[in-house]
Structure 1
Amino acid sequence: MAQHRPRIVVVGAGIIGSAITYNLAIQGADVLLLDKGHTAGSGVTGRAFGWINVINGTPGDQSYALWREAVAEYRALQVVLPTAFACARSGALLWKSTAEETETFAELHRHAGERVELLSRKTLQELEPRIRRAPDLAAFSPDDLALDPGQLAIDLVAAAVAAGGSTLFGATAYAIETANGKVSGLKVGHETIPADIVVMSAGPGIQELTDGLGIQTGLTTSPALLLRYGCNRPIISHILRGPRLEIRQATDGTLLVAKSYVANGDENLPKLIGETLLAVMKDELDLPAQVTLKSAEIGERPVFVDGLPRMGFLSEVENLYLAVGHPGVILAPLMGRVTAEEIMEVRGKNATLTPH
């Protein structure tokens, strides 16, 4: 007689699903990561700005404490997967419309226990000499990270596979199959993949799976725009966020700008916003003439009304787990670890003896 090793299928290879798969694999689980894309991080994750921070949160909110824990989890992940952070950059510079507002903003986060420094215009210009309209005062958040979320998802999946996990890309999950009120498999095309536990981390795609089971999760989406601009030289070294612009530069020179987005039915609107913001960028920064808009992509971020993520087994179907929420890039390592620990605990309790 041998102990049965339950099969865990993770649906969605965004950064959260990739982090879950990684954490399950390094704990010895029989885990399969499935995604309709052809690589990890190719969905909403690939359209994320990639700012790992607490400073954009609001001290006192329930989510603020969660963000702090999540950022600490990133530091732990850097220790065990240093190559995944080889291209990450540290530090963010933020300022409000007035020096008084910036000072109040910085003090609020200081009182909450975060490392935030106030910088004079002169110091700011020494750090970022290409800022044309330097404010009198800026807040410096040195522990923030800027990284490529899609690449991190790829690196997490590679580490998961090295630890014994498996993947299936280019495969769309159409339905979750059940038997006696319990997960039994996942319908993919004309086949069914047997599963003892299914983890739903496919962002907006989750609702299609839960609708088939008559389950309402309360998940909605919030669109955000990510703009990429080609640039052939270093311009800025930190994330910059002012009243008019939120921008960072990747190691390949690409300038990335994050922007809130409200659709108006015009399919050309993202590109038009990108061209308008290029004029703002040239006003705010000393840019070379050849900077051009490369892409304007909308990411439908999965959100809940209370702004908090969801992690846990659903009551309607046994062994069906939900792991989704915004900001997924910030929360992913923490959600990956917590989800894996909970699943492994349940897996251990449910393990049965089966013949060879």
Structure 2
Amino acid sequence: MPREVIVIGAGIIGASIAWHLAKAGAKVTILDKAEPGGVATPCSFGWINASFGNPEPYYRLRIRAMAEWKRLAAEVPNLPVRWQGGLCWDRPRSELETLGAEHSSWGYGVRKLGRDEVARIEPNLADPPDFALLVAEEGAAEPQASARMLVIDAQRHGARLIAGGEAIALHAGGTSRARVETNDGTLEADEIVLAAGGASADLAASSGVSLPMKTPPGLLVHSRPYAPLLNGLVMADRLHMRQTAEGRLVAGADYGGADPGPNAEATARRLFDTMRSMLEGAGALEYDSYTLGFRPTPLDGFPALGRPKGIENLYVAVTHSGVTLAPAIGLFAAQEILDSIRDPLLAPYRADRFD
């Protein structure tokens, strides 16, 4: 009999796990109180990277995830992923030099660029920096669209979607089947995957599992579609920005977005004005909207992935870097749930390390 799994959460992490499980033959039910795409995922910048400032074990996980994005894009036609390259000058030069050298020694394709080279790559920058780092293999995904496509393809492989289904409590552990209390009754399965983003801590607690989390806010501003202004991702000292395939400019104070402050609309308008001032030819660029997301992040800042100690029918999958890590987490979770194989890259990120 195929293993029955309930995946709570249809954001990019839950969608990837559900897709990998369904493709491997599991009987999957996807439960989400929103439509496919989740709550935090639509508010993501979408950057796919193994970029600077992380310890080497986390770099290794992220670089593997970048490779898994390419595998996933080959298996799911028209997945909205582009490998545009990333320019970075969001830190002091001395710090960038140090981080670039470190990542180069790990195998990351970092190039040092001067002002003229930056201007050739991004000719619409109003004031190119004197120094930047370029990683040509970085890219971006359209997060909500990617999650939706993975859910749709998971359904093609037999998964069932319950949209508008809110998980209220979990009952896992012991020898009986796992149960999820929802706003419309109780579901049972051999295992529950908890990929509910910011709601994960309370749901884990309902089954006696401690999952300390923080959910910092992040505001991103979005323009209306416009003629091409950017060729790739730009991590500038004033803000981070990219242009989508349909021509929308997306920007935040960093890739996770800005703190909205007391007036989110005013913050968004200021960010938009900053973005427009940084680009030549953007005089007719129009503001469209902002998104305000709350980034689900385990307390130490790193992913929480796996079964809590002593609970064999609950798998936790919570991380802030959801877009970058989603394909690898989906693959590794499916292997662990179905075949009891835990990838060594997940060793530092046990879900029960906070106990």
TM-score (norm. length: structure 2):
0.88
Q: 2:49 aligns with which of 44, 53, 59?
A: 53
Task: Please say if residues 46 and 149 of structure 1, whose CA atoms lie closer than 8 Å, have aligned partners that are also in contact.
Answer: yes
Structure (1 or 2) with the larger CA radius of gyration: 1
CA distance in 1, matches of 2:259, 2:90: 23
CA contact (8 A) 1:110 1:116 kept: yes
Distance 1:169 1:294, change over 3 A: same
Shift of 1:286: 1.2
Pick from 155, 165, 186 the counterpart of residue 161 of structure 1: 155
Q: Which residue of 2 aligns with 1:78?
A: 73
Match of 1:354 in 2: none
How far apart are 1:298 and its partner, in Å?
1.7
Spell out the pairing of 1:301-316 with structure 2 (5 A cutoff): 301-315=295-309
Tell me which of 32, 47, 53 is aligned to 1:35: 32
Q: What is aligned with 1:93? A: 87
**Cα–Cα, structure 1 residues 345 and 17, in superposed 2: closer, same or farther, change >3 Å?**
same
One-letter code aligned to 1:121: R
Q: Residues 282 and 106 of structure 1: is their aligned pair in 2 closer, same or farther, counting only changes over 3 Å?
A: same
Within the candidate set 225, 231, 240, 1:237 is matched to 231
1:64 maps to: 59
For the residue of structure 1 that corresponds to 2:45, the secondary structure is coil
Q: Provide the secondary structure at the position in 2 that maps to 1:334.
A: helix
Letter in 2 for 1:78: A
Q: Which amino acid aligns with 2:10?
A: A
Q: Tell me, which stretches of 5 or more residues in structure 1 are unaligned?
A: 348-356
In 1: Cα distance, 2:275 partner to 2:184 partner: 50
Where does residue 143 of structure 2 map in the other structure? 149
Cα distance in structure 2, aligned partners of 1:70 and 1:328 = 10
TM-superposed deviation, 1:240: 0.6
Kindly, what percent of the aligned residue pairs are identical?
Answer: 30
Structure 1 position 115, deviation (Å): 0.5
Q: What CA distance in whole angstroms lies between the structure 1 residues aligned with 2:229 and 2:173?
A: 58
Cα deviation, residue 98, structure 1: 5.8
Structure 2 unaligned segments of length 5 or more: list them.
Answer: 342-355
Cα pair 2:11 2:40 within 8 Å, conserved: yes
Structure 1 distance, partners of 2:94, 2:51, is 17
Correspondent of 1:192 among 177, 182, 186: 186
Match of 1:8 among 5, 8, 28: 5
Residue identity in the other structure for 1:225: L
1:11–1:35 Cα contact (<8 Å) kept: yes
Q: What is the TM-score when the length of structure 1 is the normalising length?
A: 0.88
Of residues 216, 220, 234, the one that matches 1:222 is 216
- SS of equivalent to 2:241: strand
Code of the residue aligned with 1:51 in structure 2: it is W
Q: CA shift at 1:306, angstroms?
A: 2.3
Aligned pair in 2 of structure 1 residues 346, 109: CA closer, same or farther (>3 Å)? Answer: closer
Alignment length (residue pairs): 338
Q: Distance in 2 between matches of 1:22 and 1:8?
A: 12
Corresponding letter in the other structure for 1:46: P
Q: Counterpart of 1:176?
A: 170
Aligned to 2:40: 44
